[in-house]
Structure 1
């Protein structure tokens, strides 16, 4: 169990490390010491900030990752004389990994002796991978260059070859009328609305968590504790309210590391959300969560964490003691709240807009819902008598959540399939699995299917029967949608797109519309037929892109405009298909950071960022074939607004052409 929990810790460390790229709490110096007879000693010294530590090369297997040195061209230009020696280390037992780990604090010194095999060699390159850790671990890479001429080589920036420079320049468009790009249909009010929706979803998740066996019994116990412990009723209300505030604060703080992601790379959040391996990891995690809710095992954090927090709350007292009580609740209730928070994280990754803000809004909503009963029941203790008694109904809630977790798991598997262009998890297969999941849920709710912690002689309540009927109706809805008897617009964005199907398709574009998936090819065609370009930045795993295609593009007039009046160029920013060898290059951003462009999606994502200063999808731009911006860009909107936007672009295109014709006379 602890190994699985370690996976979550490593995932969080991975995400945090991506956010903190370039913020290394370790300062390195180096020294080259001649030892005579073509021998040298390479010395690499680390100065480590207070509170941080770096792992030894020889830390125990099964624990944190060790430091690893790679001596470039060793055995060709030079030979290693023995291993890399280390300065004094410290050891401590890790309760997470259950091994004794070896690490450095404050300072680390590494020494390696070498003997030259080629007297003409004038430079030695050493590559180091290491982890620097505090509350989380940040993987880091460091390259040392030793000059045998006695002068240290300092490499500030990666050198780009001329081919990369030329290809990077070709990616930049010479846009005319670029100031017109200011978006319409995605104003601050729209963002606020989106955040409120996500806050509401988080709040709903918190309310559901309250109904689980890990949290519900804690409400009367905790409120009674505060009201009885306090000398006055007002003091009890204040303590219970403070307890609720700390619950909100704890869950909100969990989202803060995500707020520094955009400073690293505007495309990094999209990369994380659409990474094939990360989606597969989330699939496995959600399946694991689901079977935990089914009662096959218990998902818990190490008990020592809760014991320490509980001990701290008793020994400290006052406001700080109440804070530790709130932390104890978060740890103890993790077996029920963890999967719900995982669902919130997954849903946030799929939502439109700023992922960090979305996650903060969702976490805030979750914390508010979880904290609200403690303050309300402290204000009105008589309400405690109206609370339903704990019982089998809470088990039913957990199992239903398990089925929902299982359904969400397959969304991540579908993402991996779409982004990876595997062609395996087609729309009909996805819908078939969902039909099976909700059919099994119906059987469970009607008492046909049982799980380990179900009571064998329990009576099926009316609420459970009604929920079973709703689940059965949803199965029928999915079945009719699979055979195209009805559309599945209520689920837009969750199943694979309708053109990703087992049936033979004339076009691999949405709704069978003719489209290009390469910008230059589409631009040349637009020039040939003298039509404006509608540039569509989209993604295989983009939920809101599917909603636009299925709800807005399917409108008869919008469909006509897209199919007849414009040249549609759809660029998938999450396409993980490798670029041909000759089309791969490196791109240097204004910050100096160099990014390898090896996949189709990386190319179009960077193309969107540098030309339109945008990183979200869907994102639409109308251009003339000679790159004149025809009207403001637009994002997720309704069919009427989208239709007006296209027609405005068409009108501006005709006006622009007339002006060009007049000026050429």
Structure 2
């Protein structure tokens, strides 16, 4: 049961992440102003760049090694006689830390950003204009987006006020258009989040902590039979109280602590070790070693208020339900809050509302119609079996937290093969338990094996068979998000074979001298194009569909997709043999000849570099500005299938490529 709930929670997070990819992301909103409005000739003043950054996002500064990978914020100024720059643009209070992914010290801003450029006023009127571009990445989804802006500041002269008014009018028009676009997409996002949260709430009802509360609910409301109208009103109030408690508390936590808190919980060693210990303690409890209960003073206080009856009793009955059930519903609620706490007020409310409505529904119905209890299966041996299965799952999932701390501090406790060995043993024991070969202290006698138990045992043993090749270096792509990285494996037979034999797949014998290929490259020896028009012409000549890859030098998830998905032999063979690859780098700084510059229809800015033109192409053609983003096209540039974003499911990617080829051949 826990595995089903975990799948629902993970699916919720993945789909919400998918929704985020399908929108124009603008995580950092910048303003530019002068530190003094009435400067005189000879004064030193600052150009002040400030940004408001959305929660879960960070924007990179400019005071670290540009060779690491992330794109540093950069500025270009239109020099003129009215001012002289003093030094470079300096970040104000940027955060610095060692990044494990980039293997170096990086500097970035969270929540707010400020940078300053000092200038000397040489003459009036003063005019300072220029452009800047920056990279923002999400700690929650791994998305990275490139942004750019332009500025023009004036002191003195009649043109100053006019230019400022025109600039503000232009910003207002662009802002209004973006607002309308975001409103229409936000409605779809909220509806999807509500539906998935509702389904998660239904799944939570069948957890061991929640199911036994149904008889308690009926017992409480059966005392009000003398006044049926009042009893029904109290029952409705009871359901409303459950919804209110979950929604209000959950939303307050999401908004006040937000994804920054979630990021701390997911990356720092201390909470990860704590979570590991908590999971192991719960597993021991589910195995029957001891019983975990809420502190007596909390539950007793709540239960004491239940006895008062009326609306107060209904409320405290609801509060008791939330307290007692939270040890099982907590992981589901946490997944919803992490998925929805992206700096918005409305999304966590909608997520918690959907969950709590579904969770409260059966309790409210049983409160209104207590006689329905006689139709429910009695809690007993089957429910204890659910707890034991839950214990095995807790052991397996709890290792992930220890693994995070282990990798961060290089303790070497859980290398990949050690981790897999523990999982293999855990799921072998789970299979034996389901077959009745293991018995715990609270288990009932098992005279025969039911078909569902046998099916679950088969699933458990099949999973073990799948994991065994991983002990010899098999990539186990389906588990890449749960087990330690391949680099920690001591004996990687798969790597040895690849190093000696190389990956398969037909490579075109045609000479390859693609534009920009002297400084842009594809991974795994793939050949492709880095200019859209050139790539489309090659696709027509070879009569192949196009694999269009929107990527970036500083895109972490792009590298992860290439390492975990593109490297799979099935994917690699299809990319080599079936498609012409066009990789468009949206953050490349290569400045193009002036005759190739153009003004964007999207934001009205002149696009002068290769990266900016590629980014503008992605936004105007597909209304998306996050990477990675993959499109399969015919020779006219039409989509063959729906585009695909970050997804480490190799089978899904293979199906994506096969479907595109099939539609192209049609």
- TM-score under structure 2 length normalisation: 0.49
